[in-house]
């Protein structure tokens, strides 16, 4: 049943993307708020399908830790789920994406209209400077800049080095950094296909205020995210 539900959900998610991407294309010619509303409508249908077809719900904890204005959101990354969910959970996020995603049909159109931040990983130092500039601009607009500091999706319980780009953003933006723990990989796997019933928890942790030295910030960020993510796994009996 999980396999059948997963097959139906994938068809639902990508079918909606194609159909609604065309239906709502006129919003790309108007204010960004129109496109944001169209995206939220799409995500409501996607997560509704996830609940009905796969038995997966999601719960958000710690919303009170997200500042009202510009902020850096640094999240654990276990699944495609959070790549989509932050657009539904946060007021007006700007997610750091690989440059290649900007050229995808439909997805790329909307991602760029929403003024997300694209990064050309092959451009070296120039890419970093460009990312920092875009992030400062988005924070100055009162938006939340979202980064996955480990740079890739990981299986629940796996660890990887935290990339230095998050420290550069923290220093350049001079805004609070909100760590995020989650357990999405238990139900929507990082690299597998079959989705399993359960409740995904996305937990915003207390903000790290601006001004910490680089090494202290990196150590604090990793400790908070890994400790809280491990606690979420322990709550389900998995480590």
Q: Which of 10-19, 115-124, 185-194 has the highest mean pLDDT?
A: 10-19
What is the strand order of the sheet 71-75 is part of? 56-61, 198-204, 177-182, 71-75, 144-147, 93-98, 117-119
Reported as a pLDDT band with limits 50, 70 and 90, residue 104 is confident
pLDDT in tens, 106-128: 888 998 899 998 887 666 677 78
The predicted pLDDT at position 237 comes to: 59
Annotated domain spans of the chain: 57-235
| Phi, psi (rounded to 5 degrees) for 85 | -65, -35
Distance CA 161, CA 166 (A): 12
Within 8 A by CB and 6+ apart from 25, the residues are 109
- pTM metric for this prediction: 0.92
Backbone φ, ψ for residue 182 (5° rounding)? -160, 170
């Amino acid at each position: 049943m999980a396999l059948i539900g997963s097959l139906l959900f994938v068809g639902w998610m990508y079918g909606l993307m194609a159909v609604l991407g065309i239906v709502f294309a006129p919003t790309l010619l108007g204010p960004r708020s129109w496109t944001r509303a169209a995206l939220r409508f799409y995500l409501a249908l996607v997560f509704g399908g996830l609940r009905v077809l796969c038995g997966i719900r999601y719960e958000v904890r710690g919303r009170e830790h997200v500042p009202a204005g510009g902020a850096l959101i640094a999240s654990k990354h276990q699944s495609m789920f959070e790549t989509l969910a932050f657009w539904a959970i946060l007021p007006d996020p700007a997610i750091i994406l690989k440059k290649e995603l900007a050229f995808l049909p439909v997805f790329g159109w909307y991602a760029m209209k929403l003024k997300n931040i694209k990064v050309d990983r092959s451009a070296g130092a120039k890419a970093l400077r460009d990312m920092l500039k875009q992030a400062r601009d988005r924070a100055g607009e009162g938006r939340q800049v979202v980064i996955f500091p480990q740079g890739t999706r990981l299986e629940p319980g796996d660890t990887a080095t935290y990339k230095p780009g998050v420290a550069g953003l923290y220093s350049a933006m001079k805004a609070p950094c909100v760590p995020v723990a989650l357990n999405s990989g238990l139900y929507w796997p990082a690299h597998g296909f079959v989705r399993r019933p359960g409740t995904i928890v996305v937990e915003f942790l207390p903000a790290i205020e601006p001004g910490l030295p680089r090494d202290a910030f990196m150590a604090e960020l990793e400790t908070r995210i890994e400790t809280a993510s491990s606690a979420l796994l322990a709550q389900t009996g998995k480590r």
